[in-house]
Structure 1
Amino acid sequence: MNQWSILPLLRAARRHYPDKTSNRYYTSVTHPLAAPFTRVSPALSNLKFLLSTRKSSPDAVWTAYINALSGSEPSAIDLRTHQIVLRQCTLTPTEMRKSSKRIRLSIVRPVPGHVHESRFQTVIRNIWSLGRKPERHDYHFVLVQFAAVGHTVGSMEVYQEMKDDGRLMPDSVTFALVLQSIAHRLVVPERVADRQETVNHARNLLRQLLNDMQKAQVPWSSINMNLTIRIMKHTSDTQSFEDLLRLGYGIDLRYPDRPALDANSSVKNLMPVTIDTLNTVVDMFGLSGNISKLVQAFEVLTVPLPQAQKHFFTSFEDEDDFGTSPDPSTSFKFPSIHPNTTTFAFLLRHVSQAGKTQLARHYMLHAIRYDIYVSRGFRKRLVVTPNIADVKSPRMAVNRAMFLSVLSTGNRNKNVPLLRWIWEQIHSVVRRKKADVLHVSNFIKHLGRIGQWPPPRSPRSPRPPKRSSEDPEYLEVDGVRWRLADIDSVLNLDIDTQQPIPAPTTKPINLSLHLRILKKDIDELNAFHHYSRTILARTIERQKDRLGRRVWRNQDIYLKDTGKRQRVSKEQWRQIVNYKPKLHSGFARLPSHFRHKLIREQYMREARRDLEEKYDGRVKSQERLRQMNLQTHSRQSTPENGSESPLS
């Protein structure tokens, strides 16, 4: 059948088929009236097409946006289109971080500002020209972009514009984004000549933000506190840091035995003191070089002082002498926290770097005794607790880093008693840790016998991405090494989670991990024990050499047994220092550079030769004596010449 002959049949069939929509028109009430036709320019159509495509490049979107503005009326582009253009005319924050990182690695002096800052200003200006106002999330998007590159000037300008608007007052997220931008700028590598200007600018901006937060009564969150403390550690602004402790935690270091003046009125708003707070306070005062404040803060936060009014004798004192005493009914619990390994590591490092030998020895002994206390408590809980999951992991362990700080100050000051004390303490700590390893190993065997080992595996938390081998860990500028991981730690903070600081928690014990940490500490301390012995021997040798030069120049030296300075002869000095007999190479004993391979081989070779010579001499003397005895015996048994034998 021809294909064209089927059309008449279809028309005929349709005449007998009832049409349901015969009385319906497109302009009837059943359909709404269509909007009047408005002609859309091709440039605007192209812009909307690019905005609907996810793979559009920022440059293409911006070019289409400029063409749409020039080819159509300003009112033709609605507010939603402007907001989408604002977000798609630039790279994502992650891509901006990578781009900014490449610029930092290629240029010594970082380029200030954002590469697309002019685009943001143009879009915001066009939104104002429509008679509309940008919303809060529009400003926050710009702040996120500025924080990704550390553009502090632009962040403060956006923050000031939000304040001047009056409708969009900055909230905790706004302050967090501005603080993140400042913290990022402080960890960006730069020249030494520009560093002080950057630090002063960041210090002024932080003071302004803290004053505005206090006036607006913005509550503190964990993110804001973290970023604020990071900035203060770089700026060394101890005054603002003390104000932060007083307002945020109720800790007034000026009067450690009394609560802060405004703490009783807002006890509920104070944040709990965590171990991170204690470590940050210790590190902050240590970096600023204020050792007295460092010791005061450590002692007050670990062992709070009682209230001073309990010890005042007010029976014979006037009330005006001490002012108004606080109400005893208002009980204020002084904040305190137990230190951990990091706390003592920070404390010993800063005290040792300041050259406070007595404080270094005191806190090293304090750390050792506290470690013994924690270890005994842990072993007791491990035995008496029915469920192993209820045992908390210990947070204190003496390690190599603590001894290294004290050893360094003893080595710099040539303090032989301190070096000898460190060498003895390392041996005792290693012996105690070996006992802990034996105890934990036996307990694991006991759990295996009763069927409670190994424990069920818990789901693993996602691990952070590993650093690429091509990315450098440090960047050196003008002789200063900048750690690039500090930038990632600032930018990886989740600003949207504005939650109060949680209460401190302790992880349950993981016996396998605890056993590995103990064995690792033992290996490191054993190696460090041999190293400290070398340092001690070298220091003693140099002290003897220095005093020996004074003796040879006929100068006086201080003798401990006599308690005064006097001159000694060379023979008397040899008896005092107890020099060992010298070898052929001139070494009287194991030299300080005994670790060098060539010197070690030479020393062992000479010592072996001396032993062989002594042994050969002893053997030869014995052989000579034996021959002499044989000769004497033969002479006695041989008859004299001319005499006859009795048998002849």
Structure 2
Amino acid sequence: MSRTFTKIRITPTIANSSIRPRRFHVSAPHSSAITLPLLSVPDALSFSSIATSSNSAQDLLRQQKYHDLEDSVGRDFPNPSRVWSYYTDLLGYLEFEHLPLEIHQAVLRKCVPSTNVLRGAMARRMAAGNAPRIPHMYEARLKSVMRNIRTTGHKPTLSDYHFILEQFASVGHYKGAFQVYNELTLVFGLHPTPKTYGLCLQAIAHRLSLPIYKFERGRLVEEAGRMSQELMKGMATYKLPFTSVNLDLTIRVLKEIADEEGFSRLMKVGYGIDLDNPDHPPLDVVTSAEGVEGLDYRVPFSTAALNTTLDMLGRFGNVPKLVQAFEVLTQPLPPQANKHFSMAFDEEDDFGVINPASTQPYQAPHAAPNTTTYNILLKHISRAGHATFARHYLFQAMRLDRQTDRDLRSQMRDSLGEVLAPHFTINKGTILPVFGEANRDKNLQLMRWVAWVARQTIRRKKNDIVFYSQVRQNVQERALEEASSTVSELPTSSSVPQPVGEIPIATTSKAANSASSLSPSSSVSSGSPLASAIEPRQVPKKAISSALEVDIDAPWTPSPAPIKYFDLDLHLSILQRDLEQITAFNQHIELIMSRTTQRVKERLGRRVWSGKDVYLRDSGERSPIARKTWTEIVNFQRPPPGMRRAQIMSSRNTQKGNGRRIARYSKPGWLASQQGLAMSLYADRLES
């Protein structure tokens, strides 16, 4: 006996039609398929309450996700990936047109790491040789948020674009920065500010400083030059003057792309300096600036700007303009010198007689040189092969070094706390370029003179160290005397009545203070220059200057440089460092001089042994010389009598090294370099 079941469909009356029934089979085909709702309910009367609870549950879920996102973006240092996950998850449940604009803007700033983190990650990848394929790893997130803002009908603000530009500048994404600039100016019509152009220039300058393949260098330089020109045209269109930060960044870009014409124009607009005629103001810039009230188009010329100008002119290889700029920008003519300019040789005489008295006095921008100024000047002059200029400015640097030290000592006689810090001294970087020029040209006369300069500098550095060490000792002794006198003036514990059985707390604290005041540094305040002179400290490391270290939010005109007071311990540390470097370099000079002198002897000796003539400065003509006479002139060492040539060669005990034969016991020293070509008339003068 078999029984069959028909399919029974039970469909209760549901108020909410959104709940869809689902079929399922209990067993094989000989079973009943009963259609039940997704939620198990006791009866059909409660379905209306179920629909209401379902909607409220969905609202609660959306509200919870919104609170999670709001809490995440409200933190000071949230996890960018978590913020982005909450943001995308919420958009899946909530239409983004209902999301407030402030949430989009907060997510824009919190969904990516900080610029310092991105910069460090980029530096590590570059150092490992793993250049990223995408300049900015989170560019897609920034684009998505900006797209959502535009979709909601809102307009992104200038601060939103500035944040994106800061992100792109930290990794050198110059193309993306230029696209953002075009979008905010052309699409939305926002008025850019100097900070906008500064961030774009910062991205270009930072990318030029990063490593790049040689075959891509030309394309990068071309694109950077084109974009920088467009940015400068945009600044002129919106009538925005160059700020000190934008001027510095533009010069960095022009230095890398070697745009001499653009640099000359920038010097006229930024500093009011015409490099072709630095004694006079640029006429075209003055004419364009007339009629603009309250607009100072010039940025104050500083020592850093002077060093940058000289470095740019040296890179262009224009030595005459380099020397002219150095002389005029460091020692300008007085304002009253304009009336002494002669007009007698002017070709344009159609304007009648010019009255010199009516000419307004003009003070050319100028700045005081420092050690870096002379190092840059000597480096480019020596690379260009101008030995005369190199010798002249090295001698001028020696005189300036002595003058600076004399002024410092004279100021220290009055008061040590009000002495200004010196800004010039001779170091290894001042002497090295001139010696390199002498070594390349095999100029023994200049080489000997540079060696004399090195010896003189070493002697003076030693004397300065002895003098300033004695000054520091005197300062410390004076501080101890003042501390001891202060302790003696304090009231004794016997004069102050103390309760029986109690410890005199006040007296104990005073004794502790008195004991601590015995140290030299405690007698003066920690912020005074005297305290910094007493407390020894190391020479700070020189910071690496890069485009990202520039403060974009700095004021339009730079603030005056802070006054630096004389630090005795810092000065002694610098003297000791320079002495060690120049002493080691002097040994290298002696070695090179010995080698060069020996090679000149051998080269001329081959001419003498071949019977050719040799020019002698003593006689002033070329004439053949006997071998014996030549041996006496160049001080060749004669072998002992009875020693054969084979014995001489075997006694040298040579060994191979670096692909050439090196004598183990041959030690070229001061004797070989000083007893070189005795025919030089200036050998005795250099010894004196």
Bucket of the pairwise TM-score, normalised by the shorter protein? 0.7 to 0.9
Q: Which residue of 1 aligns with 2:466?
A: 438
CA contact (8 A) 2:278 2:364 kept: no
Q: Which residue of 1 aligns with 2:402?
A: 372
SS across alignment from 1:272: coil
| 1: CA distance, partners of 2:667 / 2:127 | 49
2:390 to 336, 360, 366: 360
| 1: CA distance, partners of 2:65 / 2:402 | 73
**Deviation at 1:450?**
4.3
CA contact (8 A) 2:303 2:369 kept: yes
CA contact (8 A) 2:428 2:582 kept: yes
| 2: CA distance, partners of 1:309 / 1:516 | 49
1:295 to 320, 323, 330: 323
Q: Which residue of 1 aligns with 2:119?
A: 97
| 2: CA distance, partners of 1:413 / 1:44 | 80
2:411 to 378, 381, 390: 381
Q: Which residue of 2 aligns with 1:512?
A: 569
**Deviation at 1:578?**
2.4
1:394 and 2:422 are equivalent in the alignment: yes
Q: Which residue of 2 aligns with 1:457?
A: 526
User: Any idea what the Cα deviations from partners look like across 1:361-414, whole Å, max 9, x if unmatched?
Assistant: 11111111111221112111222x2x3222111111111221111111111111
Residue identity in the other structure for 1:362: H
Residue identity in the other structure for 2:114: T
Task: Figure out how many residues of one structure are paired with residues of the other and give that number.
Answer: 541
Residue identity in the other structure for 1:549: R
> Measured at CA, do residues 532 and 183 of structure 1 come closer, stay the same or move farther in structure 2, by a change above 3 Å?
same
> Measured at CA, do residues 491 and 587 of structure 1 come closer, stay the same or move farther in structure 2, by a change above 3 Å?
farther
Q: How does 1:589-600 map to 2 (within 5 A)?
A: none
CA contact (8 A) 1:44 1:64 kept: no
1:128 and 2:158 are equivalent in the alignment: no
**Deviation at 1:447?**
3.6
2:71 to 52, 64, 67: 52
Q: Which residue of 2 aligns with 1:117?
A: 139
| 2: CA distance, partners of 1:316 / 1:254 | 17
CA contact (8 A) 1:554 1:567 kept: yes
Q: Which residue of 1 aligns with 2:313?
A: 285
CA contact (8 A) 1:581 1:588 kept: no
**Deviation at 1:504?**
3.7
Q: Which residue of 2 aligns with 1:577?
A: 634
CA contact (8 A) 1:355 1:409 kept: yes
| 1: CA distance, partners of 2:260 / 2:348 | 36
Q: Which residue of 2 aligns with 1:500?
A: 557
CA contact (8 A) 2:338 2:359 kept: no
1:523 to 580, 598, 622: 580
Residue identity in the other structure for 2:260: T
CA contact (8 A) 1:257 1:308 kept: no
**Deviation at 1:248?**
1.3
1:147 and 2:195 are equivalent in the alignment: no
| 1: CA distance, partners of 2:235 / 2:382 | 38
Q: Which residue of 2 aligns with 1:537?
A: 594
CA contact (8 A) 2:97 2:151 kept: no
| 2: CA distance, partners of 1:399 / 1:322 | 54
User: Any idea what the Cα deviations from partners look like across 1:559-580, whole Å, max 9, x if unmatched?
Assistant: 2123222332322322322212
CA contact (8 A) 2:125 2:131 kept: no
SS across alignment from 2:622: strand
Residue identity in the other structure for 1:356: H
CA contact (8 A) 1:348 1:402 kept: yes
> Measured at CA, do residues 448 and 102 of structure 1 come closer, stay the same or move farther in structure 2, by a change above 3 Å?
closer
**Deviation at 1:144?**
1.2
User: Any idea what the Cα deviations from partners look like across 1:497-536, whole Å, max 9, x if unmatched?
Assistant: 3342123444110112112222332333233223222221
Q: How does 1:139-288 map to 2 (within 5 A)?
A: 139-165=161-187, 167-261=189-283, 262-263=285-286, 265=290, 268-288=296-316
> Measured at CA, do residues 588 and 222 of structure 1 come closer, stay the same or move farther in structure 2, by a change above 3 Å?
farther
**Deviation at 1:315?**
11
2:624 to 538, 556, 567: 567
| 2: CA distance, partners of 1:292 / 1:442 | 45
| 1: CA distance, partners of 2:565 / 2:328 | 28
> Measured at CA, do residues 330 and 505 of structure 1 come closer, stay the same or move farther in structure 2, by a change above 3 Å?
farther
Q: Which of 1 and 2 has higher RCO (CA within 8 Å, sep 6+)?
A: 1
Residue identity in the other structure for 2:578: D
Q: For structure 2, list consecutive stretches of 5 or more residues without a partner in the other structure.
A: 1-55, 483-519, 641-646, 669-688
| 2: CA distance, partners of 1:204 / 1:326 | 44
CA contact (8 A) 1:414 1:539 kept: yes
> Measured at CA, do residues 56 and 376 of structure 1 come closer, stay the same or move farther in structure 2, by a change above 3 Å?
closer
| 1: CA distance, partners of 2:440 / 2:650 | 25
SS across alignment from 1:185: helix
1:558 and 2:627 are equivalent in the alignment: no
Residue identity in the other structure for 1:359: F
| 1: CA distance, partners of 2:125 / 2:386 | 43
**Deviation at 1:159?**
0.8
Residue identity in the other structure for 2:585: F
Residue identity in the other structure for 1:520: R
**Deviation at 1:153?**
0.9
> Measured at CA, do residues 189 and 554 of structure 1 come closer, stay the same or move farther in structure 2, by a change above 3 Å?
same
User: Any idea what the Cα deviations from partners look like across 1:111-155, whole Å, max 9, x if unmatched?
Assistant: 243222222222222212222101111111111111121111110
Residue identity in the other structure for 1:536: M
CA contact (8 A) 1:557 1:565 kept: yes
Q: Which residue of 2 aligns with 1:10?
A: none
**Deviation at 1:492?**
3.3
SS across alignment from 2:274: coil
Q: CA RMSD in A?
A: 3.6
| 2: CA distance, partners of 1:361 / 1:311 | 31
1:312 and 2:324 are equivalent in the alignment: no
Q: Which residue of 1 aligns with 2:380?
A: 350
1:337 to 351, 367, 378: 367
**Deviation at 1:318?**
6.6
CA contact (8 A) 1:173 1:498 kept: no
CA contact (8 A) 1:43 1:64 kept: no
| 2: CA distance, partners of 1:382 / 1:204 | 54
**Deviation at 1:603?**
7.2
CA contact (8 A) 2:269 2:297 kept: no
| 2: CA distance, partners of 1:323 / 1:187 | 54
TM-score (norm 2): 0.71
| 2: CA distance, partners of 1:321 / 1:146 | 55
User: Any idea what the Cα deviations from partners look like across 1:464-508, whole Å, max 9, x if unmatched?
Assistant: xx99xxxxxxxxxxxxxxx9x86x833233323334212344411
| 2: CA distance, partners of 1:288 / 1:316 | 30
Name which of structure 1's ranges 164-173 and 318-327 shifts more when overlaid on structure 2: 318-327
SS across alignment from 2:636: coil
Q: Which residue of 2 aligns with 1:416?
A: 444
Residue identity in the other structure for 2:69: L
